[in-house]
A and B are shown apart, each in its own frame.
Chain A
């Protein structure tokens, strides 16, 4: 038990360090951005004193290092500042939109894994046969699809041609289907391939032969010995794939006018609104780090060997 606690503690420390490092990175990028944020924010008619006052209020008259700590302090109090373009509190904006993004990525993750794991297992059991080949080709094609085009195709088929699903925006659960599929299908390929290759690797392991030699029946060996070991990296990937999925969500949300963070981020970028951009990157980073830590913890629980590393 001690091993696990020490292991988790180590991961937590690394996670905090990563978050801090990312804040430095975001801050550096924003510093390097062309144009003074306050000049962008205020009207040209505002007097120079007023500008100085605002800068002092934000700590922008101080050297960058001090500014960084001001900014960091605000962030950890949950204050991401005021959006330049929307004139709204960024914390509120994110809080409004985060649930939609989580809903979309969550639904996509579920679809992805519910399809990929059984298909991967099936392909492995039928290795080199027609089922395996057909599945492999299908997933490579899906993997090569830009999500935004897949989204457009699904829209054309289900919303315009068949008119069974809403075209875009959010109008209840039903509008989740197309964006979630768009996000899940290309990502599915990776999990499918991982499951397939892990199952094949584990089936070659001697301990699987041992299990058969002990007189355990085929179904039990596949579940208790093969899947149990093969799914360790797959489960870990469940958590590690989040950043890619959120990245994909930014694009997909824009295709479907989904009211999530991705669309907000895109608006922020289009309007050069760095307050929004840094706030969103920070939130996403925290989410990712949390998921990474959970992933590491799960792998520690599932695989007793890892705890010793």
Chain B
């Protein structure tokens, strides 16, 4: 069995490439101060300098090293993304279990709330929430979580509905086990693989949303090196200094692609028929 799993992993090229991209990002996050030649806020007199040995991706209008800013930026992108996914998993899974397990009116209410959140473009609702709470990395994480838990709820709810009718869960009910104990002991363990898949696939879109918010100026503020912000600052110099937009763009694609491939691989391994 273990051997088969191993063979499966080795045959799953997407998973392997995804993992490599992913571990590279993790290394960058951990060793950012060692990799980056400068700090993210350090300004020099060389403004809008082209890529050279000192500044591998050039400098911005304040003479800051783009490469170093992008390296440090991975910390913001990843931490905001991960915090957002943790929060949305908690909200989404809890509501999904409650709706699926109790059904009836509770289910209807949860379903109505999810339908409503689907009716506002997530990024726009997130913008409104950040506007309400103030621009900061934490608030972006919260806003992204608030607008994207519905996916978890829908899938978990459907899964719980089918689990609920399994005979051993019905038997547990007849034995008089409490709902909480049934949920924790029988239902939750059966949801683990689904939750892992959903969370790994939610991370890349959370990171994309984070950078989109940063691009619109909502999120970490200067001189924090937010990828989206570096890119949007670079657009005004697109004719004279196109390199400013290259490094953050590549970084985003690298990270998001890595997580997407990893997520696809995990899904392929745990539950290929799950429709996400």
What is the interface of chain A, defined by CB distance below 8 A to chain B?
14, 17-19, 21-22, 25-26, 29-30, 32-34, 140-141, 143-149, 152-153, 155-156, 160, 197, 240, 243-244, 246-248, 250-251, 254-255, 265-266, 269-270, 272, 274, 277, 280-281, 284-285, 288-289, 292
* In the complex with contacts A145-B253, A250-B123, A255-B235, A18-B115 CB distance below 8 A: yes
B51 at the A interface (CB under 8 A): no
How many angstroms between the C-alpha atoms of A160 and B240 in the bound complex? 10
Name the distance in Å between A251's Cβ and chain B's nearest Cβ: 5
How many angstroms between the C-alpha atoms of A51 and B266 in the bound complex? 59
Complex interface residues of chain B between 102 and 141 (CB less than 8 A to chain A): 112, 115-116, 118-125, 127-129, 131-132, 134
How many angstroms between the C-alpha atoms of A254 and B214 in the bound complex? 13
Contact A288 B249 (CB under 8 A): no
Most A CB within 10 A of own CB, among B116, B121, B245, B257: B121
Complex interface residues of chain B between 224 and 276 (CB less than 8 A to chain A): 228, 231-232, 234-235, 238-239, 242, 245, 248-249, 252-253, 256-257, 260-261, 264, 275
- Classify chain B's interface size: 35 or more
B249 partner, pick from A19, A141, A152, A247, beta carbons under 8 A = A152
Name the distance in Å between A278's Cβ and chain B's nearest Cβ: 8
Complex interface residues of chain B between 32 and 71 (CB less than 8 A to chain A): none
B215 partner, pick from A17, A141, A148, beta carbons under 8 A = A148
Chain A residues within 8 Å of B242, by CB: 156, 160
B129 partner, pick from A29, A143, A247, A266, beta carbons under 8 A = A29
* In the complex with contacts A145-B253, A246-B124, A270-B217, A152-B245 CB distance below 8 A: yes
Contact A18 B116 (CB under 8 A): yes
Chain B residues within 8 Å of A18, by CB: 112, 115-116, 119
What is the interface of chain B, defined by CB distance below 8 A to chain A?
14, 112, 115-116, 118-125, 127-129, 131-132, 134, 204, 208, 211-212, 215-218, 228, 231-232, 234-235, 238-239, 242, 245, 248-249, 252-253, 256-257, 260-261, 264, 275
Name the distance in Å between B260's Cβ and chain A's nearest Cβ: 5
Contact B231 A284 (CB under 8 A): no
Contact A160 B239 (CB under 8 A): yes
Name the distance in Å between B228's Cβ and chain A's nearest Cβ: 7
Most A CB within 10 A of own CB, among B119, B131, B134: B119
Contact B212 A269 (CB under 8 A): no
B116 partner, pick from A22, A197, A280, beta carbons under 8 A = A22
Interface of B is mostly: helix
Contact B228 A22 (CB under 8 A): no
How many angstroms between the C-alpha atoms of A17 and B121 in the bound complex? 18
Chain B residues within 8 Å of A25, by CB: 116, 120
Nearest residue in B to A194 (C-beta to C-beta)? Answer: B275
Contact B118 A251 (CB under 8 A): no
Contact A146 B252 (CB under 8 A): yes
Nearest residue in B to A249 (C-beta to C-beta)? Answer: B121
Name the distance in Å between B148's Cβ and chain A's nearest Cβ: 11
Chain B residues within 8 Å of A280, by CB: 124
Contact B215 A281 (CB under 8 A): no
Chain A residues within 8 Å of B260, by CB: 140, 143-144
How many angstroms between the C-alpha atoms of A22 and B115 in the bound complex? 11
Contact A251 B112 (CB under 8 A): no
Name the distance in Å between A149's Cβ and chain B's nearest Cβ: 4
How many angstroms between the C-alpha atoms of A247 and B249 in the bound complex? 19
Contact B249 A149 (CB under 8 A): yes
Name the distance in Å between A25's Cβ and chain B's nearest Cβ: 7
Contact A266 B216 (CB under 8 A): yes
Contact B121 A244 (CB under 8 A): yes
